[in-house]
Structure 1
């Protein structure tokens, strides 16, 4: 790709920036990297995990390119491959991979974002002409924030309510399905019945041409329906192997989980870049003198500065290892020839939702912290951090609003918990009830904190605390939700009153699986064990009030947690540069005035960094 779109130019106009990103997309297509994740029968390589890992690396450069590429090959291409059949693949898949057919993903509506199941756009089948009529039936049904729609896309994957039944028949709505709808001519003009408007300048990602789409009775052939899971006959008869509408809807959306995983990966890369800039700057920026030596101290030698950056660095490592596991699991399930596994697919979707939520929130917090850690220099556009901050802000709400995603995680956890309890025999249910009573006694007496004592750096002890929190929150959440099953109960009020509890349970679950992913590889390098301990202790410190309130830690013990975090920050300070270098970000993607003051590194240190790169990579 040469020097295209490595970092955004803050002085470029919106049109210049969009043109540059469009050219970068074409260059990316010529590299054939995007082909990696598609069916070998059409010129791809079938390496689903590889293409998602490669996509994440774009996050070290220009995030507008990452998003634009994600729309083309992840969302539009993903819908085409996963929801379509041979008739769609034969006609469109090669052109989509090559970038000669640019598309967009038209799901979100002005009135419905997260609630996809109740979208208002309709696709009504006309049996006389064998066509679907795509229609925006009210202002709230306008497709909104659609990446690629404002400038470059020629076709849209449109999600709409499928309706069958002619003038003399009772209309039937079969739920949300996906349709391929041309929106522009080759000359770039909107096609008849399609109204395209530009969302305009955003807080970030202005290289992405987000637009709005309105359809006025646009007709597409019957074959435009992506019909892997459902079809309509020429006579207008609807059929699907999945008879339950809700299950069918979630099955269709589940095939698009790659987009959610990719967003988490892109957020991780942006976070790594911000930390690399802040840590390297912190090793050269000096403030105030050491009375003992009279020399000014580099800011990363101050504990308060270490506290800003090093726990966030540890958690970034943990999230990356969890992301690696997620990509590997997705690859196994989606590679060509893989046997369908509904249980593993459901687990993948739950993990993807949780890690996307926690990872993108972490990115938002950490990039802001890195900006502050670089002072005024971090506020200058030329030093890259402002663009990272602006471009990743929307990651918390696209590909699923984070709060809604954690609610989905909580729902799955409660369902699984209910099934486990239901399977218990009489003796098991007696033991289960006794455990609940015993837990209440331990909490009220403070005895639980005695039983949970251990070495705060021991991964097994840290994991036990995280597991305890997860299990406690899920079990107590399930008890609260039982009220909704009572005759005459106001189910919405019960759920609404427990939302904060359910979100806490979901977050505890994700914290535990992220810790487990890191712990599974922490013995690769001696340094990683201490990074793992800092991550685990930071999570516990961040929720220490809960651990005290529920009797898992005493107030004195939480002070020991803080002391241990401080000590680990000091121990990891000499390795901070080594740890950020291990992210492997190309130097030309980091070059900025912020790093002009760096000292030349000695050869011995470079060798140590190479060892760490080998261990982490």
Structure 2
């Protein structure tokens, strides 16, 4: 029996269901699918126009402090931002630069003197700005940026300077055309001493749009995608700004040049400052998820009506989604998209509770451990969600054949626009290294806290595991039902722990006297990345399982449990080599995993349309010739806009 997509949508909308409903209604009025042949300047102008219309809607205000006219709803504004991924990703990125990066930096790194002066105009879209962190020569290595901010006590000004071309701020959104001010990250120098990277507000354009003295602005030009965003380059030739332009929430400079900070450790201060900007990574993951959902909606709906080759029994051509190979392309990807959606929802909730403006000081959510956990989850889920988007959108393009290659059918633009998501707001490989580093630190602390008996038991468990692996006994002792969620989770937990313990043993060599620490780390990088991915796979599965447990409807809970099972088995199948090599499953059981995936694909085939309708993507943003077959085919369902209340007739799809 086909489930009601409206009921499924309510589950997917979750904590901020009202925000999602408002965004669908508001954004349905915007032109969010630009013509493919717009010139760069026309596209940029359209994106800026839509940005201002977003500001007029009041939605971007929701993420700012209520004391300055904001709504104080951090989770709500990130949820709304992600929904832009259903429409125009250039608008999503430009909005993210303006209110997430530029405005967010002023909010969290600045103090009342900055909030009073700038926040309202930033929220209203009257002051458009940039987030000038990345340099031509330093991308992920933010700690060693080369732009300098040298304090002059005689004038009480900072001198912002680009010492060489490698220190030029590069790929900066809003810089080439619209930005009038930039949050510039630079090495702060007072009295000849460098205090590390800090952020300062630097005007870059006058009211008439011309570059200010000492500021050189370049244009990155046409890109593979996101050409509605005016990415540019910034260089500074001894540009002076007042002392008050230092965003001084975590550190300040007195009139005489005395530097002070409540955080004494320079390294800890640096990572604390960057940690407050974690919202950007969470937002990128959400936008990638929305784009992936849109691609799957297009491909699955097309596959449910596109016919190819005749059934030898009936003589009728078969819809391509009835072929197992086509189901294999799309349905495991759909299951992973669901899993990442629920993991993203948990992440947004965690961030909201941690960064909420009304959170009580000293509450549990404000602990350093909570912030570290948030940063680790955000790094891991951003990496996995954006890699998944890149792979899935390509698969959807292929699943739609030549039609999927036409610009009018939206998939090529989705593919081009999301490609850079894997490297901005943190290169994915570097982010997974960050995850692995945190996991290793936590692992070391966990083992270090064991008493003598505990350490002996720990060593014995390691030896027993090694013996079970060599003899194949492990697969015999723990031979569970592949359909059982507890057994599926056990496999993923065991993989995570196994990889982490092995990585810790390899990295311990770096502590030996005279060891070449870089060589040890470099030689184990591949292992660390695999361990980090295993960790993210497990936390994503846990989020999905928790979401299924919260569903009250037995029918809907059963459907989502099947999707959850397909996600889990797809992960296991994708790493069968590990499970077989280390004795967790036999070779015969590995074949059974593949058969279980095939079975679930067949069981979920009748529900495929329901599952993509559950995303609630406004129908206007899916309107393209690719789906014309739905109107022409007798098998096509009638699908009203998600904003309408009439039930959707999906019986024919099943």
TM-score interval w.r.t. the shorter chain? over 0.9
Partner of 1:168: none
Match of 1:467 among 469, 476, 493: 493
Structure 2 residue 289 is matched with structure 1 residue 289: no
1:580-599 → structure 2 map (5 Å cutoff): 580-598=612-630, 599=633
Match of 1:48 among 74, 86, 98: 74
Inter-partner Cα distance in structure 1 for 2:286 and 2:315: 44
Q: How far did 1:156 drift?
A: 0.2
Tell me how far 1:521 sits from its aligned partner.
1.4
* 2:199 and 2:247 in contact (8 A); partners too: yes
Q: Does 1:276 align with 2:263?
A: no
* Structure 1 residues 375-524: aligned runs within 5 Å: 375-523=401-549, 524=551
Check the 8 A contact 2:150/2:160 in 1, yes or no. Answer: yes
Partner of residue 387 from structure 2, selected from 332, 355, 361: 361
- 1:601 has 2:637 as partner: yes
Instruction: Give the Cα separation in 2 of the matches to 1:532 and 1:233.
Output: 56
Structure 2 gaps, min length 5 = 1-26
CA offset digits 1:414-435 (Å, max 9, x no partner): 0000001111100001001101
Residue deviations 1:14-54 (CA, integer Å, cap 9, x gap): 00000000000000000000000100011111000000000
- 1:4 pairs, out of 23, 30, 48, with 30
User: What's the TM-score once normalised by structure 1's chain length?
Assistant: 0.97
Tell me the secondary structure at the aligned position of residue 155 of structure 2. Answer: coil
State the 1:5 CA deviation. Answer: 3.5
- CA positional deviation for 1:7: 1.1
**1:187 equivalent among 191, 208, 211:** 208
Counterpart CA distance in 2 for 1:387 and 1:2 is 19
Task: For residue 341 of structure 1, report the CA deviation from its aligned partner.
Answer: 1.6
1:603 positional shift: 9.1
| CA distance in 1: counterparts of 2:647 and 2:464, whole angstroms | 52
**C-alpha distance in structure 2 between counterparts of 1:245 and 1:89, whole Å:** 25
Give the TM-score taking structure 2 as reference length. Answer: 0.91
2:229 pairs with one of 208, 221, 225: 208
Give the Cα separation in 1 of the matches to 2:649 and 2:516.
56
**Cα offset, 1:2, TM superposition:** 6.1
Q: Does structure 2 conserve the Cα–Cα contact (< 8 Å) formed by 1:110 and 1:142?
A: yes
Q: Contact 1:443–1:550 (CA<8 Å) still a contact in 2?
A: yes
Q: Is the 8 A contact 1:582 1:609 kept in 2?
A: no
Q: 1:236 aligns with which of 257, 264, 289?
A: 257
Report if the CA contact (8 A) 2:435-2:532 is conserved: yes
Structure-2 residue corresponding to 1:227: 248
Question: Structure 1 145/43 Cα, relative in aligned 2: closer, same or farther at 3 Å?
Answer: same
Paired with 2:426 and 2:103, the residues of 1 have a C-alpha distance of: 19
SS of match in other structure, 1:179: strand
CA distance in 1, matches of 2:77, 2:403: 35
Please tell me whether the aligned partners of residues 578 and 609 of structure 1 are also in contact (alpha carbons under 8 angstroms).
no
Shift of the 608–194 alpha-carbon distance from structure 1 to 2, 3 Å rule, reads closer
Q: Matched residues in 1 for 2:425 and 2:116: separation? A: 28
Aligned length: 607
The secondary structure found in structure 2 opposite 1:12 is: coil
Tell me, in whole angstroms, the C-alpha distance in 1 between the residues paired with 2:74 and 2:211.
Answer: 33
After the TM superposition, which residues 567-578 of structure 1 pair with which residues of structure 2 at under 5 Å, given as runs?
567-578=599-610
Cα distance change, pair 180–427 in 1 and its aligned pair in 2 (3 A): same
State whether residues 638 and 649 of structure 2, in contact with CA within 8 Å, keep that contact through their aligned partners in structure 1.
no
Distance between the aligned counterparts of 2:571 and 2:213, measured in 1?
55
Q: How many Å separate the matches in 2 of 1:451 and 1:188? A: 71
Q: In the alignment, what sits opposite 2:12?
A: none
Change (3 A) 1:608 1:579: farther
The gaps in structure 1 that reach 5 residues or longer are 166-170
Structure 2 residue 140 is matched with structure 1 residue 108: no
| CA distance in 2: counterparts of 1:584 and 1:422, whole angstroms | 48
Match of 2:239 in 1: 218
Question: In structure 2, which of residues 165, 182, 188 is the aligned counterpart of residue 139 of structure 1?
Answer: 165
* Kept in 1: contact 2:296–2:612 (CA 8 A): yes
The list of structure 1 runs, each at least 4 consecutive aligned residues, that deviate by more than 6 angstroms after superposition, is 606-609
Q: Does residue 542 in structure 1 map to residue 574 in structure 2?
A: yes
Partner of 1:117: 143
Q: 2:319 pairs with 258, 279, 298, which one?
A: 298
Shift of 1:601: 2.0
Deviations 1:304-340 (A, max 9, x none): 0000000000000000000000000000001113233
Shift of 1:451: 2.2
Q: Distance in 2 between matches of 1:535 and 1:421?
A: 31
SS, match of residue 127 in structure 2 = coil
1:527 is the counterpart of 2:565 = no
Please identify, of 546-555 and 593-602, the stretch whose mean Cα deviation from structure 2 is larger: 593-602
Greater RCO, CA 8 A, separation 6+: 2
Residues 516-525 or 361-370, more deviating: 516-525
Q: Distance in 2 between matches of 1:535 and 1:142?
A: 43
Tell me which residue corresponds to 1:315. 336
Q: CA deviation at 1:452?
A: 2.5
- Cα shift at 1:3: 4.3
CA distance in 2 between counterparts of 1:554 and 1:241 reads: 56
Cα RMSD (Å) of the superposition? 1.6
**1:351 aligned to which of 377, 383, 386:** 377
Offset at 1:217? 0.3
- Give the direction of change, closer, same or farther, for the CA distance of 1:362–1:141 in structure 2 (3 Å limit): same
CA contact (8 A) 1:5 1:21 kept: no
Q: State the distance in 2 between where 1:210 and 1:246 align.
A: 30
User: 3-state DSSP class of the match of 2:629?
Assistant: coil
SS in 2 for 1:596: helix
Residues 323-342 of structure 1 mapped to structure 2, 5 A cutoff:
323-338=344-359, 339=361, 340-342=366-368
